[in-house]
Amino acid sequence: MKRYLGSQLPKFSSEEMLLLRDSIDFIGVNHYGTLYAKDCIHSSCLCNDPTCSTGSDHAIRGFLYSTGFRDGVSIGEPTGMDRFFVVPRGMEDIINYIKGRYHNKLMFVTENGYSSPVSEDDHYQQDVKRINYHKSYLAYLAQAIRNGADVRGYFIWSLMDNFEWTSGYKTKFGLYHIDPQTLNRIPKLSASWYRDFLSNSSNVNIGISNKVCTDEAKII
């Protein structure tokens, strides 16, 4: 960033730098998915994935091009949002990056969630894919914690299906469905699973790197 945008970056005095140093209480991590990235400064960034119009150029000075596809194959299982794919290892990767970059500052995962595709709306209460998503992401989070990352909390996005800024009410992340007529809250299968997980009666049991990771609510 300094190399390409140095003259445009704000200047800090020595006193301001001292005030900023180690001035945060914790780092909040919002994480939903993982994408491929390509340098757009030294190479062409013509879009070639299914979500872009053919031949559109994404080259922006000082930035990179990100996509969920490589050679026409998606990086993970698609969700209800075009740019979010299920890539559980990304949770461990981002936590480890922050751990190294910011000297293992205290972290909270402030948002992590699965948006169900519209095709699953008729079976919204049996949201097994949401459960599997959180099981796998929690397992990789547990792996990062065991390797020394100072993560103290994990928040699911979201308790209820809600209004999303870019998609209104059609994108659903919640553990609870909201009846649009009565506004009653209807628990999905994931709500029961998460309750049991938090009460220490349900395990995260996912194979990682030929090992089995079993962590109960102690990682929360």
| 202 preceded by a cis bond (ω within 30 of 0) | no
Q: How far, in Å, CA of 43 to CA of 121, rounded?
A: 41
Q: What is the pLDDT of residue 216?
A: 35
Which of 26, 29, 14, 9 lies closest to 112 in space, CA to CA? 29
Of the residues 15, 16, 77, 111, which is catalytic? 111
- Provide the pLDDT confidence category of residue 219 given band limits of 50, 70 and 90: very low
Tokens standing for 33?
A: 């998915």
* DSSP, res 2: H
| CATH number 3.20.20.80 is the correct assignment for the domain at 24-33+78-219 | yes
Mean pLDDT of 55-76: 75
pLDDT digit string (tens) for 125-167? 999 999 999 999 999 999 999 999 999 999 999 999 999 988 8
Phi first, then psi: give them for residue 121, nearest 5 degrees.
-60, -35
Higher pLDDT, 36 or 209: 36
pTM above 0.75? Answer: yes
Higher pLDDT, 203 or 155: 155
Q: What is the pLDDT of residue 139?
A: 97
Q: Pairing between strand 64-67 and 69-70?
A: unpaired
64: which strand partners? 39
Mean pLDDT of 205-209: 50
pLDDT digit string (tens) for 97-129? 999 999 999 999 999 999 988 877 778 899 999
Higher pLDDT, 11 or 215: 11
Q: How far is CA 111 from CA 20, 65, 133, 155, 187, in A?
A: 25, 24, 13, 5, 20
- Averaged confidence pLDDT in the chain: 86
Q: How far, in Å, CA of 144 to CA of 160, rounded?
A: 28
> Which sequence spans correspond to the domains of the chain?
24-33+78-219
Q: Is the pLDDT of residue 211 over 90?
A: no
Q: Is the pLDDT of residue 206 over 70?
A: no
164 tagged catalytic: no
Tokens standing for 94?
A: 């981002």
Burial class (CB in 10 A: 0-12, 13-18, 19+), 43: exposed
Q: What is the pLDDT of residue 65?
A: 82
**Rounded to 5°, angle at Cα 37 from 11 and 59:** 70
* DSSP, res 115: P
Instruction: Of 26-30, 179-183, 204-208, give the lowest mean pLDDT range.
Output: 204-208
* DSSP, res 116: B
